C-alpha cells in the first residue's frame, strides 16, 4: 500500500509539473490537460528555521453537511538526499458547521491508514524513537479538536499549538513546524470556502 501511495504521489507531481509549465492558456491551445488541483501557499521552515514559501497541493477534497475531507501533499524536510526524500500526504477532516471560522476544528487527521503518507525521516535523524507511530501518538492525534484560532495563535518555528507536549517532540522542530504551518494555511483555505457566509454576517 505504501509503495502504491508513493507511486501515486510521484505520478501526480510529474503530471502537475508537466501541466503547470505550459500554463492554463497554453494547455487550451495545445490540447494538454490543465492542472485540476487546488493549491495554497504555506510558510515552510528549512533546517535551522529559515522561512520560505512553499506550495501545498490538495489531491482530494470532498465536503458533506458536517465536514470536509482533504488529502494534502506538501514537502517538509528538504535536507535529505532525493533518493530518500519525498512529499508527505496528510489526510485531514475539518468541520464545516461551527458558528464562526475561528471555531472550525480538526475532526480527524492521519499520515497513515492507507489515506496518507509520512514523507519525513523514519526515524527522525538522530532520535531513534521518533518514528511515524511515535509522531502519531504524541503530535498528530493530539491535534484532533484543535481550532483555526489555535493555529492562528501558534508562535511559529520550534513552538507548538496549545495542548501539544513540547518536550515530547522537541527534537523534531522541522517536521512539526511544517505540519503545523501547512494546517494553519489549510484552515485559511477551508474557512474562506466553507465559512464565507458566516464571515460576511
| Cell numbers that stand for 145 in this block | 479538536
Angle formed at CA 92 by CA 98 and CA 23, multiple of 5 degrees: 105
pLDDT of residue 26: 42
Partners of 39 in beta bridges: 57
> For residues 47 and 85, what is the distance between their CA atoms, to the nearest angstrom?
14
pLDDT of residue 43: 96
Q: In what order do the strands lie in the sheet with 51-63?
A: 38-45, 51-63, 67-74, 88-95, 106-110
Name the pTM for this structure: 0.82
Residue 105 burial (C-beta neighbours within 10 Å; 0-12, 13-18, 19+): buried
pLDDT of residue 171: 86
pLDDT of residue 158: 93
pLDDT of residue 31: 61
Rounded to an integer, what is the distance from CA 48 to the centroid of its chain?
Answer: 20
pLDDT in tens, the chain (201 residues): 555 555 455 445 444 444 444 444 444 455 666 777 899 999 999 888 899 999 999 999 999 999 999 999 999 877 777 676 789 999 999 999 999 999 999 999 999 999 999 988 787 766 778 899 999 999 999 999 999 999 999 999 999 999 999 999 988 899 999 999 999 999 999 999 999 987 655
Domain boundaries, the chain: 1-34, 37-200
Amino acid at each position: 500500500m505504501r509503495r502504491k501511495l508513493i507511486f501515486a504521489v510521484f505520478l501526480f507531481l510529474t503530471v502537475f509539473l508537466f501541466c503547470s509549465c505550459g500554463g492554463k492558456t497554453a494547455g487550451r491551445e495545445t490540447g494538454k490537460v490543465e492542472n485540476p488541483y487546488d493549491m495554497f501557499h504555506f510558510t515552510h521552515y528549512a533546517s535551522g528555521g529559515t522561512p520560505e514559501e512553499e506550495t501545498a497541493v490538495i489531491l482530494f477534497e470532498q465536503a458533506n453537511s458536517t465536514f470536509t475531507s482533504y488529502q494534502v501533499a506538501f514537502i517538509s524536510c528538504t535536507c535529505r538526499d532525493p533518493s530518500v526524500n519525498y512529499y508527505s500526504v496528510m489526510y485531514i477532516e475539518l468541520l464545516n458547521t461551527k458558528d464562526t471560522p475561528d471555531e472550525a476544528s480538526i475532526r480527524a487527521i492521519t499520515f497513515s491508514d492507507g489515506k496518507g503518507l509520512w514523507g519525513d525521516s523514519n526515524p527522525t535523524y538522530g532520535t531513534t524513537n521518533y518514528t511515524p507511530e511515535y509522531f502519531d501518538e504524541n503530535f498528530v492525534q493530539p491535534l484532533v479538536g484543535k481550532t483555526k484560532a489555535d493555529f492562528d495563535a501558534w508562535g511559529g518555528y520550534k513552538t507548538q499549538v496549545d495542548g501539544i507536549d513540547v518536550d515530547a517532540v522537541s527534537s523534531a522542530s522541522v517536521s512539526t513546524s511544517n505540519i503545523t504551518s501547512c494546517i494553519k494555511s489549510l484552515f485559511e483555505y477551508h474557512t474562506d470556502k466553507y465559512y464565507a457566509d458566516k464571515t460576511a454576517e
